[in-house]
Structure 1
């Protein structure tokens, strides 16, 4: 293909961002996934473990692995939910809060760098396009029906 597809641009951009975040997180002995989880946990009230997966757009098995690693590193503690004994709340430890602040700084520095190099109008357009793509996917407006490759 002479021209790059929208999919290619999105994927290549996200891979570059992901690599950059992992390199920065690695400097603090962490990962991008851990940083994302830290930023998704309410630092004051804790967060129910059941709402963390959907909030992060992550499957339960992947999230379980990340939470286990975070617990082993002393970033989080799990406590029974006092309002619902069947569920668990995830809380940040003091170290977890420090690492959350580090992760937040990394994300804000990225935002600042992009804003310094991209006009406000272009950034607004980019966000509108990204939101439109997300809506098209969420509302199943791209692939409306299943394609049966065996029975064309």
Structure 2
């Protein structure tokens, strides 16, 4: 077995352009950079936008559920939520039946921001230039890859 082969004899050369991880990294950076001017008009960073997407869908969510939905740990999520709260878009409150559990709720301002954000997905879809079928295949493959790598 050669240095760049797996147990099945499949070769994995050490060339940058042959690394799937680099293609994912470059695509992620490009997509996030393309989001930036759209989200700047909303006063959101990309991670804050993700939090808001969950809240626009569910209206309120526990911090634990939010972390699971976004695949973020508590230490990463807490500053995001605090910043959104200081900007008046969400509020945090302890559940009356369980003081250890904190839920995050949209404020009226956070709810109103949803309407302003409705142009973001079509703009990003146009920037990506994928046909609907390609988009579905890409999303499915990325979800599968994430599930396989995190299993």
TM-score normalised to the size of structure 1? 0.75
CA, structure 1 residues 83+111, in 2 after alignment: closer, same or farther (shift >3 Å)?
farther
Separation in structure 1 between the aligned mates of residue 132 and residue 55 of structure 2, nearest angstrom: 30
**2:44 counterpart of 1:30:** yes
The residue that corresponds to 1:149 in the other structure is: none
The residue that corresponds to 2:116 in the other structure is: 102
Please show how residues 59-78 of structure 1 align to structure 2 within 5 Å: 59-78=73-92
The residue that corresponds to 1:15 in the other structure is: 29
The residue that corresponds to 2:148 in the other structure is: 136
Unpaired segments ≥5 residues, structure 1: 140-152
SS of equivalent to 2:17: coil
Unpaired segments ≥5 residues, structure 2: 1-14
- Pick one of 115, 119, 123 that aligns with 2:135: 123
SS of equivalent to 1:41: helix
Moved more, 69-78 or 3-12: 3-12
CA RMSD in angstroms comes to 2.4
Aligned residues: 137
